[in-house]
Amino acid sequence: MTEQLLERPSASAADRESGDMSSHTAQQTPTAEAWGTSAEVSDFDFTPMSPWGPIALILGLASTSAFLGTFGMMLAGFSTLIGLAAVSRIRASAGMYRGSGL
């Protein structure tokens, strides 16, 4: 409904003053899409990112501290578990989330 209103040309000032709206009503059907594709053609294409993907990425980068001591080794093990859990949750969502490429 709103697309039809936006695409419809407005009546000129002379037509409004004279009351002649015949030229305006003759072009009720739009011929081209003014705002891209219509809502019927393309659905909502946004896929949200799972929060587990960036968390696993940050923990994976922090696990490089494994070279510094035992805390880094524990962090590397924990980040591996979080990364595996993130990938399994993203795959189980059946395309609802993205982020497994992180």
For 69-98, what is each residue's pLDDT tens digit? Answer: 888 888 889 989 988 888 888 888 777 777
Which residues 6+ apart lie within 8 Å of 23 measured at CB? 11, 12, 15
Give the CA distances from residue 102 to residues 48, 60, 95, in Å, rounded to whole numbers and listed in that order: 14, 10, 15
Helices 70-92 and 52-62, axial angle in degrees (round to 10): 160
Contact 102, 61 (CB under 8 A): no
Q: Which long-range contacts (CB under 8 A, 24 or more apart) does 34-43 make?
A: 34/3, 34/6, 34/7, 35/3, 35/6, 38/3, 39/3
Sign of the Cα pseudo-torsion (59, 64, 70, 73, in order) = positive
Q: Which two tokens stand for residue 38?
A: 């219509």
Q: Is the pTM of this model over 0.85?
A: no
Confidence of residue 39 (pLDDT cuts 50, 70, 90): low
Domain boundaries, the chain: 1-41, 52-92
